[in-house]
Each structure stands twice: as structure tokens, then as C-alpha cells.
Amino acid sequence: MDLIQSILVATSNIDKHYFALPVAGVKKPLLRERVYCYELYHQLRQVLSDETQLVLTAETDKRGNPTFTDGHPIPDFIFHRPGDHQENSAVVEVECRVSRRHLRKEFRTFKCLQAKRYRQFILLLFGIRKVPWRVLAELAREVDINLNEIVVLLHTEPGVKATRQKAPNVALEPPD
């Protein structure tokens, strides 16, 4: 099973109380990225094959890493061989807040890790109904990363798997 398929299967196993956290004193459960990510990590570890030589790590803080001189991202998930940049495979950023500020941070993380030879970039949006393609296209241009190099997954509700989204051509065109 490839990495994208593994993520899609893992998302289908995220229970509703990890997808949207019930909070005392609040009527509607709240989307909490960290709660979702911890459960996604658990589900990914269940789904991933032991055959891979790559390691899944979560929230790997790059501060203190001497090879990161142009920023210190903390990606949600990376698939790599720890210790060098020879087997840097994929970066996964998870987001439920689709404001420019939050998405810009995710794209900057992709850009920084692209320079470290990561080859696949995955943006997993959860708890929203549709992908904000125009905003993604504008931020990709701003950060100087090709939006076509980013796999966008949308996980709209618990109990179903996320789906891979395809950007409409209009979203990739420069604004008028």
C-alpha cells in the first residue's frame, strides 16, 4: 500500500471524539488539531507495513539540527530515515483552520523541507467541507512552491476516509 493510501485508510479509523473533541460546557465538539494528529499517528502505525525502512515521526522540532539554518519547522509528520537527508520521503501537514496565517505556516514548512530533499508534500485538511483552492494557490505563489506538488486530502467527517482532492484549473491561474 502506498503512503497516500495508508493515510486514507488511517483517516477512516479516526473515531468521532478524536475528530471533534467534546468539551465540558460547550454544546458542539471542537476541532483540535493535536488530538486529531495523535490519533492519526496511532492509526498510521497500525496501517503501515513493517516492510518499509522509513520511520514515521511526529512533530519533529528542527531546532538544534545544524542542517536547518533557514528556519526551524515543526512538521506534523515526516516519513524519513533519521540521521541524514538521504531518505527524506514525505511531509504531512494537518490543518482544520484554513486561514491564510495557518496555511502559510504549512506551506513554509513544505518549502523549508523541500530544500532538505523531501519528495512528497501532503496537506490533510479535516473538519471542513471544501478546499480553499484560491487561497492555496495564492499562498503557493507567495511561498514559491508549486501547488501541483502538494497532495491535498480532505477529511470531512469521522467514520469515512479522507479523499484526495484535485485542484480546479481556475485556482491555479494568477488572480485578475
| String of DSSP letters for 77-91 | EEEE-TTSSSS--EE
pLDDT at 66: 47
pLDDT at 42: 95
Q: What nine digits make up the cell of 36?
A: 486529531
**More confidently predicted of 76 and 51:** 76
Burial level of 113, CB count in 10 A (0-12/13-18/19+)? buried
Average pLDDT score over residue span 66-94: 74
Is the pLDDT reported for residue 119 higher than 50? yes
Mean pLDDT, rounded, of the chain: 86
pLDDT in tens, 42-74: 999 999 876 667 788 876 655 455 454 465 578
pLDDT at 176: 46
**More confidently predicted of 48 and 116:** 48
Is the pLDDT reported for residue 93 higher than 60? yes
Is the pLDDT reported for residue 161 higher than 50? yes
Greatest extent of the chain over all pairs of C-alpha atoms, in Å? 49
pTM assigned to the model: 0.88
pLDDT confidence bin for 81, thresholds 50/70/90: confident
